[in-house]
Structures are given as C-alpha cells and as structure tokens.
Amino acid sequence: MGKIDLHTHTTASDGMYASDELVRMAKERGLTAVAITDHDTVSGIQSANMAGQKYNVEVVPGIEVSTVYQGKEIHVLGYFVDFTSKAFLNDLIHLREGRHRRNQMLIKRLNELGIAITLDEVAAKQTDPNGNVGRPHFAQVLVDKKVVNTIQEAFDFYLGEGGKAYVSTPRISPEEGVQLIVRHGGIPVLAHPGLYHDDSLISQLMPVGLKGIEVYHPDHSPEDLVKYKDLALRYQLLATGGSDFHGMREKGPYHGALGSQPVGVDALEQLKSLRNKKRA
C-alpha cells in the first residue's frame, strides 16, 4: 500500500526546498506520490515532474489558492489543474498581485509598530527568483532581527490572525477560488478547515464545485479529525490529507514533516476518477 502526501510547498512559494529536492526527499521517506501545491503559483511543477520520473515518484500537479472570506484567509487546494494553460497562468498573475499588496501592507504595519524592516529584506529570503514571497519569509527576518525568538512566535505575535501586524487585503472569494480551479480542469478541496472555525464554508462551497475537504492535517486536533471525517461522509466529499510541508525551520518542521499526514492510494484514485470524468 503506497503512502501519498497531497499538500506540500516548494521554493516556488514559501517552502524551503526546490521542487526537485522535495521529490527526492519524498522518495527517501517512502512516498509513492506527492502533490506540489504552492501558494498561487504552479511554477514548481515542471521540475517536480522531471524529478518524479528520475526517482519513480508520481507527482500530482496542484495549487493552493488564497482567498478571503469575512476578513479571514481561506485556502483552497486544486488538484490536476492545467498548469500549462496560458489562461490559467494569466489568472494566477492577478492572485499574486493581491499577495504583493498584502506584503506591502504588512511592511507598513510592522514599520508603524517600530520594527525596521523592508520588503527587499523579506524578498531576499526567497531563494527562487521567480517564487512568491509569503509570511514565513517575513517571520525569518523577524527572527534574524531578534524581534522574536522563533518562527512560531513571529506568527503568534505579529503575522498570524489576531497578531499585531496581521492585515487582510481584498482577494477573490472562496467561491471564486473553487470556480477558478474548476474552470482550469482541477479538483477543488478545502484546505485545513479546522483552522477557520466556520464549517458552514463546506456546504457553502459545494454548489460551486467543491469536491473534498482536507481531513488529515498536522494542525488538526484529534477532535477535528473525527469531525471532518464525519462531515466528508455526510456530504459525500473526498477526504484528503497532507503534511502542508514547508521545510525544516529551527528545531522542527513548519506545519508537518514531509509524509507525516499520508493518505492511501484510494484517495489519489478518487481524485483521478473525478479528473477523468471532467475530461470525458
């Protein structure tokens, strides 16, 4: 029985490892398949595919789309998106423009709090010249400047929801995120629903094409796990899972270690079945 990780990030967004390196690591950890789901970009998938052929690891092309609902970030995973489509790539440019506005607002807010930090300093933490800049890059600068001691503290005190510098910018809605994924051939799954504290999102997104919820996630409690398994059954949605691996920071992984929240081959086969129905 193979093990599969359906949620990982590379240097194309805010992960610490290039996509080919991540695929090599997946092989070392005994994974038979891994999904590349970077934030608002698919630029890491091509090299991941090449590495997958080299290491005999199946690569699932994916994305994690950033949306906003009632001032809160909601993430929607998309599997088997048409990552070579020019129309899709053009749509993603608009998503990244929203991310850039958020980053500028975050810099302004941190400066207002008396923290001397520039966007150039943050961007320097992104090792991929074509990669997105995200909050983990901000967090690393805050650690370097000794504003906080750890990445987690940076999120707890400044960058995370409720933090002193947290900002929310206008972005597409979760419904629009699901529709974007559907429009470009993908299978939409609500990422880590336990972090939103609003399960009405699930039934709200089903009419526009939501096909699954991420049941297995390192930030879900045992109670969350039971609840979302039950909800997946109730709504007849796919129950997916993944580590949300970004890399090893300080003493441990950011979110989960690669392969720490695996799903079986059946989950991947169900995703493929939905993909094939769309293409029939």
What pLDDT digit, counting tens, does each position of 19-73 carry?
999 999 999 999 999 999 999 999 999 999 999 999 999 999 999 999 999 888 8
Provide the pLDDT confidence category of residue 250 given band limits of 50, 70 and 90. Answer: low
Instruction: Give per-residue pLDDT as tens, 113-137.
Output: 999 999 999 999 988 877 888 888 9
* pLDDT tens-digit map of 132-179: 888 889 999 999 999 999 888 998 999 988 899 998 887 899 999 999
What pLDDT does 254 receive?
66
> 3-class SS at 261?
coil
Q: How far apart (Å, rounded) are the C-alpha atoms in residues 120 and 124?
A: 6
User: What is the rounded average pLDDT of the residues 224-233?
Assistant: 98
Looking at residue 71, its pLDDT comes to: 84
Distance from C-alpha of 18 to C-alpha of 31, rounded to nearest angstrom = 17
Contact 192, 217 (CB under 8 A): yes
Question: What is the share, in percent, of the chain residues with pLDDT greater than 70?
Answer: 97
Q: How many domains does the chain have?
A: 1
Contacts of 66 (CB under 8 A, 6+ apart): 39, 40, 73, 75, 95, 98, 99, 171, 177
Burial class (CB in 10 A: 0-12, 13-18, 19+), 119: middle
**Nearest-angstrom CA–CA distance, 92 and 45:** 14
Q: pLDDT tier at 280 (50, 70, 90 boundaries)?
A: low
How many other C-beta atoms lie within 10 A of the C-beta of residue 93?
10
266 to 76, 158, 212, 226: CA distances (angstroms) = 21, 40, 14, 19
- In angstroms, the CA 84 to CA 92 distance is 12
pLDDT at 249: 64
With 70 as the cut, is the pLDDT of residue 276 above it? yes
Tally the C-alpha atoms within 13 A of residue 80's C-alpha that lie toward its C-beta: 19
Do strands 58-69 and 72-79 pair parallel, antiparallel, or not at all (unpaired)?
antiparallel
* pLDDT digit string, tens, across residues 81-112: 999 999 999 999 988 888 889 999 999 999 99
Tell me the per-residue pLDDT of 210-220, one tens digit each, with 9 for 90 and over.
Answer: 999 999 999 99
Of the chain, the end-to-end C-alpha distance in Å amounts to: 28
Provide the residue range defining the domain that includes 92. Answer: 3-279
DSSP 263: B
CATH of the domain at 178: 3.20.20.140
Cα-based angle 124, 64, 46 (whole degrees, multiple of 5): 75
Of residues 251 and 17, more confidently modeled: 17
Residue 240 pLDDT class (50, 70, 90 cuts):
very high
- The two three-digit tokens of residue 92, written as one number: 């993603």
pLDDT for res 1: 61
* pLDDT number for residue 8: 98
What confidence score (pLDDT) does residue 238 get?
98
Indicate if the pLDDT at residue 180 is higher than 60. Answer: yes
**Residue 138, pLDDT score:** 94
Give CA–CA dist 211/220, Å, rounded: 20
- 279 neighbors 186 (Cβ within 8 angstroms): no
Strands 252-253 and 248-249: antiparallel
State the alpha helices, DSSP H only, in the chain.
19-28, 45-55, 86-112, 119-123, 135-144, 151-154, 174-183, 200-205, 222-235, 265-279
